[in-house]
Structure 1
Amino acid sequence: MIKYFKFSLFHMLTLPFLLGIGLGGYWMALGFFVVLLVVVFGDVLMGDDLSEPAYAHTWLLNAQLYSALVFIAMIFVMLLWSVAENDVFGIGQFIHHYTGFDALAARAENQWWHFIPVWLGAGLLIAIVGTVPAHELTHRTADRFAMLIGRWLLAFSWDCAFAIEHVYGHHRYVATLKDPASAPRGRNVYQHIIISTVAGNVSAWAIERQRLTQLNLAVYSYHNRYLRGIVMSLLLSVVALTLAGWQGLLLFSACALLAKALLEVVNYIEHYGIERQPKQPVRPYHSWNSTKRISSWASFNLTRHSHHHARAQLPFYQLKAMPDAPNLPTGYLGSILLALIPPLWFHLMTPKLQQWDARYGQKCEAKD
């Protein structure tokens, strides 16, 4: 059964974060450091996962996807509880009743610096628990329920535009100059976060406006998925303000922005420097791949990105490892950390791009 439940790793990563907030003080860093240790060192120690098992009970896999909404809601509520003046939903009393630990007294002793790892951990987890399952669900465009859950997951990072631009823009223009998510050579990750965020939202709005125009529907109406996405995130912000005041709103907003920035860092490492002619079919070599075991388990095979772009309609459990595709230096979280140090990233990726040019560059030129 491990082949089914290995993808529940992201659920498990949520628990130390929730525990750390309940304990308060320096324990609030627990969630962040557990994610780093498990994913980064797990990739190093556990090696590659090249398995491609058949799944007879896909409902078990889909249940893990949909349950992400429950776990991200718990992250959201505990974030608000940690800064609220009152005992939101009686969480503190619940902890004290069943464990004897005075969580409310521990919370009262928290200092501002304790929230730095909370912010980092929540940003990471909103990206892992929210954006990653949402990526899978919003590709299921014919399934209205999957789209609804996927868009709510994205609302926690203020990024419902992703459900539009990624599916209808990024996959069409990947590795070309028209794709906001594909970083050209020489661009550092911090530039990319800003450029891709702005251009991605502009692209999502243009795609949605064109769709509504073709359907003879009003652009500024309920039918506009871009505007509905903004409203969804606004509703979460109102909940944060209502339950935990301005402190709750600011903390949630900071975590949501960090999660959105992390998505753009993931886009960066997945596509940095790879080039494709606009009329050339998308091939597995048009994105960076990774076969690292823990990253794959924690991301619903998002690491098998080369096959995902070649066959975007396939569900995550049918993606092939493709070890011969262009590979990242390490797993996803490790590559994210490398990208945050641009000189180191360029030092590692320049020879990889030279190898990519030697192997695939002529195929691109042949399409001119």
Structure 2
Amino acid sequence: MMLLHYLKFFLFHGIGLQALASLVAGGYWISLGLLAVLVIYIAGDALCGDDTTTPEFRHPAILTVQLWMALPLLCLIVFASVWSFSSKDVAGFGALITELTGYDAISARDATPFLHHISGVVLTGLMIGIIGTITGHELTHRTWDPVSMLIGRWLLAFSFDTIFSIEHVYGHHRYVSTTEDPATAPRGRNVYHHVVASTVKGNASAWNIERRRLRRKGHSALSWRNAVIRGHLMSALLVATAFAMGGVGAMVYFVACALWGKALLEIVNYMEHYGMVRHPETPVQPRHSWNTNKRISSWTMFNLTRHSHHHAQGEVPYQDLKPFPDSPMMISGYLTTIVVAMIPPLWHKLMTPKVLEWDEKYASSAERVLASHANATSGIPALMKHANQ
């Protein structure tokens, strides 16, 4: 039984390999691969219930190496995706697939309609988010481990978001659920506004954090020591690689995948903290984040779902996070909630009662004052009715 608890965290490799096979097969297989991922997460979370187990892992190194394996997997997926849009058989990749399997991958690629390439962008962006950003998030919290930090930043480079390793760890975790946090969406904001606002303010915050760090050490912000600059150069190298694989078209294709991957991160930030308030002098507690324990999301996203414990104790490795079933709960699992968040009327209809319940059940007296002001300025009639109550 204990073996299952190790193996469940390897499921994301299976999802990644399925996406890889779909991209290589080309044509309608790309869209079917995207559909399969959506079904696995949305239907899986709906049917498989919650995972509230808290096993003790005696060999955590296995789970760390498993995280490191995300980088070669993501590199292969993104390479195959850009190759699928290129007119060249880069590195003889298609010929190798044909030789090994007998499947004419080059002909299938060349016959792929543009509509399925759009599916390829969506599928690749999802993989950048699931395999890249989520794993990078876990690894860059391990600030004491240079190997994990390096691999994590490269994973984040695929979504142009290496600044996440700075802003998230040193900014977001400090200011979460306050007005100082770019990633915490105020009540009434729609997700599309949040993606832009959080991206711009998050980059500015990361630059300021890094500038202050370098100033304390007596260095200029405009130098190779600046992790923000180095991180953007890492992403630029990936863009240049895509250009080398297939010219401007392949480069634009990769940029679209990367930006969609980045947008996914901000959508996740939106749904993890939407409407939360916290007095700045109050320590971060499990009640200051939306949580979920849906089984498929938990197993394939390294317990990112146990977000309440993560924010209460950010240094705890993912396998040791507790489910906190009494914490404020999201609408459902992660991909389901992402879909709902992208439909603002549906999001506000479902989340407004949850936000009001949070005010009543979880907020301190000082936070109820902040919540009342947030309700008054939300622009949501059902929330505004509860202002000053």
Q: Which of 77, 81, 84 is 2:83 aligned to?
A: 81
Find the aligned partners of 1:4 and 1:364 in 2 and give their Cα distance. Answer: 42
Counterpart of 1:25 in structure 2 is 27
Checking the alignment, whether the CA contact within 8 Å between 2:304 and 2:318 is kept in structure 1 is yes
The aligned counterpart of 2:51 is 49
Partner residue of 1:7?
Answer: 9
Counterpart position of 1:251: 253
Structure 1 range deviating more: 184-193 or 31-40: 31-40
Matched to 1:3, the amino acid is: H
The one-letter code of the counterpart of 1:185 is: R
Q: Is the 8 A contact 1:134 1:150 kept in 2?
A: yes
Aligned pair partner of 2:234 in 228, 232, 254? 232
Give the CA deviation at 1:363. 4.3
- Which whole-Å deviations, capped at 9, do the CAs of 1:41-89 have from their partners, x for residues lacking one? 1001110000000001111111110000011101111012112222112
- Cα distance, 1:2 vs structure 2: 1.1
> TM-score, normalised on structure 1?
0.98
Q: Contact 2:139 / 2:148 at 8 angstroms: preserved in 1?
A: yes
Match of 2:185 in 1: 183
Q: Which residue of 1 aligns with 2:144?
A: 142
What letter matches 1:309 in structure 2?
H
Q: CA separation in 1, counterparts of 2:248 and 2:289?
A: 41
Instruction: Give the unaligned 5+ runs of structure 2.
Output: 371-389
User: In the alignment, which residue of structure 1 is the partner of 2:304?
Assistant: 302
8 A contact 2:153–2:231 mirrored in 1 = yes
The 5 Å alignment of 1:182-221 reads: 182-221=184-223
Aligned to 1:99: 101
Deviation of 1:314 (Å): 0.5
Q: Which 4+ runs in 1 deviate beyond 4 A?
A: none
Name the structure 1 match of 2:343: 341
Find the aligned partners of 1:56 and 1:362 in 2 and give their Cα distance. Answer: 38
3-state SS of paired residue (1:16): helix
Task: Confirm or deny: 8 A CA contact 1:23 1:106 kept in the other structure.
Answer: yes
CA-CA distance at 1:367 after TM superposition: 9.9
Residue deviations 1:251-277 (CA, integer Å, cap 9, x gap): 110000000000000000000001001
Q: Tell me which residue corresponds to 1:286.
A: 288
Q: Which runs of 5+ in 1 are unaligned?
A: none
Task: Quote the Cα distance in structure 2 between the aligned partners of 1:3 and 1:17.
Answer: 24
- Out of 111, 114, 127, the residue aligned to residue 112 of structure 1 is 114
Q: Alpha-carbon deviations, 1:225-267, whole Å to 9, x = none?
A: 0000000000111111112211111111000000000000000
CA distance in structure 1 between the partners assigned to 2:30 and 2:363 by the alignment: 48
Residue pairs, 1:321-336, within 5 angstroms: 321-336=323-338
Aligned to 2:130: 128
Bigger Cα displacement from structure 2, 84-93 vs 126-135: 84-93
Shift of 1:365: 3.8
The percentage of aligned residue pairs carrying the same residue is: 51
1:62 aligns with 2:61: no
Distance 1:162 1:78 in 2: 26
Conserved? CA contact 1:29–1:114, under 8 Å: yes
Q: Secondary structure at the match of 1:178?
A: coil
Contact residue 43 and residue 294 of structure 1 kept, 8 A: yes
Q: Report matched runs for 1:348-363 at 5 Å.
A: 348-363=350-365
Whole-angstrom CA distance in 2 between matches of 1:199 and 1:90: 42
- Which residue identity lines up with residue 111 of structure 1 in the other structure? P
Distance in 1 between the 2:60 and 2:125 partners? Answer: 29
SS in 1 for 2:331: coil
Matched residue, 2:380 = none
SS at match of 1:361: coil
